[in-house]
């Protein structure tokens, strides 16, 4: 049953990914001021969304691990952290592609950019902790760190509102400030990236389970 769901989701993504590209580059209009470079925005925001969502899963799974001591929950936290870090890496890489022609610089220590970079380092550190987490004590420590690291997630989200920032604010009290077709492109990207996360998460968990099994077999066979 699980295999059929993965196959179905894979088929859906094979269709939706190129459709999403078409919506971004042909359906959504070119922004008058920024020009074609504005289209980076759709992947930039979607990557950030999945990164923050993945770290929310790490937070919840870390709490669940401290409560139940379930290895499956621990693998869920690690898999989500890895996927989230990949997507936040995409956020940090696509941001400068937009920033240079608009701000005339690849990077600025803006509150949103700075907190996002700190978030990336925090979850890289989490994965390093998990890589040495073969004992229960190490896994508990990694879970506690996963809970503490989550503090930076709302800081990233609200940083552009709380502190003086040149980073654009997408959602205001008046809603999403975009043209109707741009909204379609944005929500299409968010939807496709969300499906991609749902597809990758159990896949990565399975690979981590197999890795742990191989490690266990080696410890039983080798002196």
CA dihedral 82, 84, 85, 88 (to 10 degrees): 160
Report the SS3 class of residue 155.
Answer: helix
Strand partners, 171: 176
Length of the chain: 223
pLDDT under 50 in the chain at which residues?
A: 173
Short-list 50, 45, 7, 6, CA closest to 24: 45
Report pLDDT for 10. Answer: 87
List the beta strands (DSSP E) in 111-206: 171-172, 175-176
Report pLDDT for 5. Answer: 80
pTM of the model: 0.90
pLDDT tens per residue across span 98-144: 888 877 888 888 888 889 999 999 999 999 988 866 778 888 999 99
Report pLDDT for 193. Answer: 96
Domain residue ranges in the chain: 18-27+34-221
């Amino acid at each position: 049953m699980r295999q059929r769901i993965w196959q179905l989701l894979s088929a859906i993504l094979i269709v939706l990914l190129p459709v999403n590209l078409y919506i971004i580059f042909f359906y959504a209009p070119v922004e008058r001021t920024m020009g074609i470079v504005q289209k980076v925005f759709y992947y930039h925001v979607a990557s950030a969304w999945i990164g923050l969502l993945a770290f929310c899963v790490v937070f919840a799974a870390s709490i669940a691990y401290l409560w139940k001591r379930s290895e499956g929950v621990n693998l869920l936290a690690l898999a989500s952290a890895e996927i989230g870090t990949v997507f936040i890496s995409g956020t940090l890489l696509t941001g400068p592609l937009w920033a240079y022609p608009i701000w005339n610089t690849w990077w600025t220590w803006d509150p949103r950019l700075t907190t996002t970079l700190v978030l990336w380092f925090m979850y890289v550190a989490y994965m390093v902790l998990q890589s040495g987490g073969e004992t229960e004590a190490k896994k508990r420590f990694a879970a506690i760190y996963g809970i503490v690291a989550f503090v930076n997630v709302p800081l990233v989200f609200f940083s552009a509102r709380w502190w003086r920032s040149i980073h654009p604010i997408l959602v205001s009290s008046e809603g999403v400030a975009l043209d109707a077709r741009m909204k379609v492109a944005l929500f299409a990207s968010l939807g496709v990236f969300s499906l991609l996360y749902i597809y990758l998460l159990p896949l990565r968990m399975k690979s981590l389970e197999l890795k742990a099994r191989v490690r266990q077999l080696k410890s039983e066979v080798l002196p």
